[in-house]
Amino acid sequence: MATMVIAARDEITGAGIEALLRAGGHRVVARCLDEDDLLRCSEACGPDIVMLEEGLGQDSAKTIWRLRARKRAAIIFLLKESDAIKIAGLLDLDVDGILLSGARARRLIDCVESVAHGQTWVDPGLVRHLVRAEPCPLTVSSLTPRESNVAQLIIRGLCNKEIARELHLSEGTVKMHLHHIYEKFGLGGRMQLALSIARACTQMPVSGNETVPARELNCAAAARVVDQRKPKNLA
């Protein structure tokens, strides 16, 4: 199970998250109330995952950058207000998971366990909000049928090897299609792909002229995009 540091301005919030994580079998090595304390604890404890609440420092992106400069722990960003979120701000965050603060306990555990196994995780509630709130930057009609197939399987949470097996392709060919998708839409990483493609799935072409209506997509699956890193060895 993962070792974790929780960084939340409210001690009650931090204690509640810690209780849920401990009940799920994870080990919380520290709780922090400000950015300086977080940086010290991250350096001293070397956690697998840092859960960072929005607003802990003056600039969340700078806090995340400072964490990355010190230790390569995975970072889960805890958002407090979904209504005020802009996609551009989220894409600038170098994090492994995004979770809404109002999420249920099971979703918190799902997020932690996904990130602990090297996956990128986006709260399904946030995905739904982004689909409603902003026009999608992806024009999925510009994808080839095969790229659309690959994108659809990514939304379902399949890794490259599983996509290759499903489509009867080599893993290298799947990576090539992903590279083309990144280039077409100017995407810089898996988190951007997770947010952008999940919001584009209101009419995702599958093959030829077929499409999949948004209501038929599993939003929880759309929130998971598997990062092709090796799983961490967690105690």
Q: What is the pLDDT of residue 30?
A: 93
Q: Band of the pLDDT at 149, cuts 50, 70, 90?
A: confident
At 192-235, the pLDDT tens digits run: 666 666 555 543 444 344 433 333 333 444 444 434 443 444 43
Give tens-digit pLDDT for 79-106.
876 544 565 567 667 888 888 888 888 8
Quick one: what percent of the chain has pLDDT higher than 70?
66
pLDDT of residue 195: 66
Q: Which of 43, 42, 108, 52 is nearest to 79 (CA)?
A: 52
CB atoms within 10 A of CB 155: 25
**Of 68, 71, 69, 125, the residue nearest 98 (C-alpha):** 125
Among candidate residues 214, 227, 206, the one with its CA nearest the CA of residue 136:
214
Q: What burial class does residue 215 get, using C-beta atoms within 10 Å of its C-beta: 0-12 exposed, 13-18 middle, 19+ buried?
A: exposed
